[in-house]
Chain A
Amino acid sequence: MTPDRRGPAYDDDPVAHFFAEHRAAVREEPATDLTWQRVVHSRRPRRSHHRLRSFLAASAAAAVAVFGVWSWQQHPFGTGGVRPGQQISGSADYAASVASGPSNSTQVPGPVPSSFASWSVSNAGNGTLYDLGSAVCGQQVCPTLLRSADNGSTWRSVHTFAGTDTSQAVGSARPLIQPNRAVTEVRFATPQIGYAFGGALWVTSDGGASFQQVDHPGQAVLGLEVSRNQVMVLSADDCSAGVCRGPIYLSRTTPQAGSAALTTIASADVGTPLRGALLAVQDGVTVVSPIPQKAGTPIPPLVPAPDGNLDTIPSPQGCGTAPLESIALASNVSRLMWGLCAVSSTATTTTYSVLRSTDAGNRWSVAGNRTLTMPRLGRVTLAAADQAHLVATAGGPRSGSATGASSAGALVVSANGGRSFAPPTSAAPVPSSGFDWSASPGSSEFYAVPRTTAGYWWSTDRGRTWKVVDPTS
């Protein structure tokens, strides 16, 4: 009771009574040592990651095991959902087997929900495609995985992730960095083995029927890419509300049934809060492109170095002071790397020069001087098939992306190595929010995913023509 409000009138105040009643009904939850350890671990800076690694390896592995068992007992995924931070954030090798994480039990394939909207597409080879998206489940939205065994002609729903965090996965302000237990992206290494991630990291080895959670360094997984029997995972620490302030970690695993043990091969403290980081992997070449929280403070792309650090790719001469961005690795040509440099912008468009490196980023040359102009509609993604064929997309439902730019020109292609870009010969109308993501899975194919529609855009002729693949139709 405090004198400044508890005067005689207090007893007659129905509002005070209402809240006092609810306050009295508050149920105190246990304050456990495990949660305290999470607090302390999350708080500690990890700049001396490598020095601490060996010291912490044993204790972290033990903590992961104990915490995994405890979490499973307290919050089985099927009923209560996984909790953020189940993984011990940290500075240890992630040699823990996936068996320590909770699992999402086997589900039976069913029809595609009519409410399905595509978020992420992955080509698993042999005509098998996976499409992770959202579907209404009860009164909420659940990440739902579809599979096609005939290159996108027909689809079945194979898995629904009930209990994950979708609070920031839909809507116009969707951040690139998702909450710890979110699942928003999918990548498959084979028709059977694949990964669902986006904050959390899950692996399947039975074609999406069941998933098991994988321990990883840091709080949130920012990216995962698969190339030639190698899986690279990008994660970060100290993440909250779509921003990560801690170090980023690059880890590696191999796609094999029954194990997804991650080994951290490099880390870096980029020194500025990030609102995302993109990962490009192809034939043993890996590039990390951090996206700073504040516009106007660009960070150059990073590549893993043998000493466990992430080294920066210096801005090529052709870029002036602008850093390289939108790095893409050609899907059909080893060590061929493409990048963009912003050279000028208006209120609604940005013009880029196109840079090319044939030796995995050591030397660069200008392939197209000011040849690419994109609407300022989120971020620009570059996808490359080979020496000639590029696709650039812009968009994404992002907070702060409302520049008034039209989505016209949000999908353009080049057939001459970046010397010029033009809209495709034929394509469905571009969604008003553009495309969140585009990629070349190899051969002559490209994908572009808007995330705001039921389907995704697909080209099988190196970007010349496109059609919409709608799994709900």
Chain B
Amino acid sequence: MVAREDSVETAVRQVYDAHFGRLVGWATPLLSDRDLAHDLATEAFVKLLRHWESVDDPRAWLYTTVANQVRDHWRRRGREAAAYGRWSGGRIDPEPVAPATDHATRLTVRDAVESLPERLRLPVLLHYYADLTVAQVATQLGKSDGAVKRDLFDARKQLAARLEGT
């Protein structure tokens, strides 16, 4: 039992050495928070250790796990912002506000993906930004290749218009 655990740790450590750093770097622009990206990547590796026996494609699995967490984070932040807007009800302190990012001159990956409908976000993140193949994305999301291609087609149409606008 201990020997098996050791061999799993050894295998996952190799994946960690190969992919952890890039996974954090990949998630950071999506979250605008390096520390949070670090934590989500760490959590993904904790899960990978637990589920190692059932994971066929560790890199694709890790990026999918983190992409799911990023999507959940976006949802939470959206709800939080809406709730807080209602809650503070005009009682905002007159404190200095940091200048906003100039989105007109540089569209971020986060802006681009968040502009898409919910169902298209993961396929785009995984295929275009994480560089997974359509087949890998389909496997990870439990969809057919055709369904993923359709999602990417739809996303491409919407994003192309937005990219032209910037």
**Cβ 8 A contact of A23, one of B72, B91, B124, B131:** B131
Contact status B26-A39, CB under 8 Å? no
Q: Would you give the 0/1 interface string for B78-114, flagging 1 where the beta carbon is closer than 8 Å to chain A?
A: 0110111001100111011110000000011100100
Residues of A within 8 A of B107 (CB): 18
* In the complex with contacts A18-B159, A18-B163, A170-B49 CB distance below 8 A: no
| Complex Cα gap A177–B39 (Å) | 17
Set of chain A residues within 8 Å of B155, measured between Cβ atoms:
15
- CA of A19 to CA of B162, assembled, Å: 13
In the bound complex, do residue A15 and residue B159 qualify as a contact, i.e. CB atoms below 8 Å apart?
A: yes
Evaluate contact between B79 and A172: CB separation under 8 angstroms.
yes
Query: Is A170 touching B84 in the complex (CB atoms < 8 A)?
Result: yes
Interface residues of A in 32-77 (CB under 8 A from B): 35-36, 38-40, 42-43, 75
The residue in B49, B73, B128 that gathers the most chain A C-beta atoms within 10 A of its C-beta is B128
Interface residue from A5, A39, A135 paired with B133 (Cβ < 8 Å): A5
Q: Do B46 and A42 touch across chains, with their CB atoms under 8 A apart? A: yes
Which residues between 1 and 19 of chain A lie within 8 Å of chain B, taking CB atoms? 2, 4-5, 13-16, 18-19
Please judge, given known A-B contacts A22-B29, A84-B39, whether A138 and B96 are in contact too, CB under 8 Å.
Answer: yes
Quick one: closest A residue to B72, CB to CB? A241
For A167, what are the chain B residues with a Cβ–Cβ distance below 8 Å?
Answer: 73, 76-77, 80
- Nearest CB of chain A from residue B112's CB, rounded to whole Å: 7
* Distance from B128 Cβ to chain A, minimum over Cβ atoms (Å): 4
CB nearest neighbor in B for A40 = B9
Q: Which among A39, A75, A171 is the interface contact of B46 at CB below 8 angstroms? A: A39
Q: Indicate whether A141 reaches chain B with its CB closer than 8 angstroms.
A: yes
**B159 lies within 8 A of A173 (CB):** no
A-B contact number at CB 8 A: 139
CB pair A26–B22 under 8 Å, yes or no, is: yes
Within 8 A of A (CB), among B43-94: 43, 45-46, 49-50, 72-73, 76-77, 79-80, 82-84, 87-88, 91-93
Q: How far does the alpha carbon of A342 sit from the alpha carbon of B68 in the complex, in Å? A: 37
Which residues of A have CB within 8 Å of B83? 170-172
Contact of B17 with A by CB under 8 A: yes
User: Do B156 and A29 touch across chains, with their CB atoms under 8 A apart?
Assistant: no
B residues within 8 A CB of A472? Answer: 91
**Most interface-central of A40, A81, A138 (chain B CB within 10 A):** A40
List of A residues within 8 angstroms of B140 by Cβ: none
- Which of B39, B49, B73, B163 lies in contact with A43, CB distance below 8 A? B49
Is residue A295 within 8 Å, beta carbon to beta carbon, of the partner chain? Answer: no
Q: Give min CB distance, B27 to chain A, whole Å.
A: 9
A interface, over-half SS: loop
Chain A 85-121 against B: per-residue CB contact (8 Å), 1 yes, 0 no?
1000000000000000000000000000111010000
Interface string of B106-132 (1 = CB under 8 A from A): 011100100000000000100111110
Cα–Cα distance between A159 and B135 once the two chains are bound (Å): 52
* A240 interface hit (Cβ, 8 Å): yes
A14 near B160: Cβ-Cβ < 8 Å: yes
Check A115/B91 contact, CB under 8 A, given A18-B159, A172-B79.
yes
Are B25 and A43 in contact, with the CB atoms below 8 A?
A: no
Which residues on the B side are within 8 Å of A172 (C-beta)? 79, 83
Q: Is A428 an interface residue (CB 8 A)?
A: no
Instruction: Specify which chain B residues have a CB less than 8 angstroms from the CB of A18 in the assembled complex.
Output: 107, 112, 128, 159, 163
| Separation of A452 and B79 alpha carbons in the complex (Å) | 15
Could you say which residues of chain B place their CB within 8 Å of the CB of A113? 93
Does any Cβ of A come within 8 Å of B13's Cβ?
Answer: yes
State whether the Cβ of A347 lies closer than 8 Å to any Cβ in chain B: no
Contact between chains at B76 and A138 (CB < 8 Å): no
Partner of B135, one of A4, A23, A40, A173: A4
Tell me if A170 and B21 are in contact (CB < 8 A). no
A16 to B112, CA, bound (A): 12
User: Could you list which residues of chain B lie within 8 angstroms of chain A, going by C-beta atoms?
Assistant: 9, 12-13, 16-17, 20-22, 24-26, 28-29, 34-35, 38-39, 42-43, 45-46, 49-50, 72-73, 76-77, 79-80, 82-84, 87-88, 91-93, 95-98, 107-109, 112, 124, 127-131, 133-135, 145, 152, 155-156, 159-160, 163-164
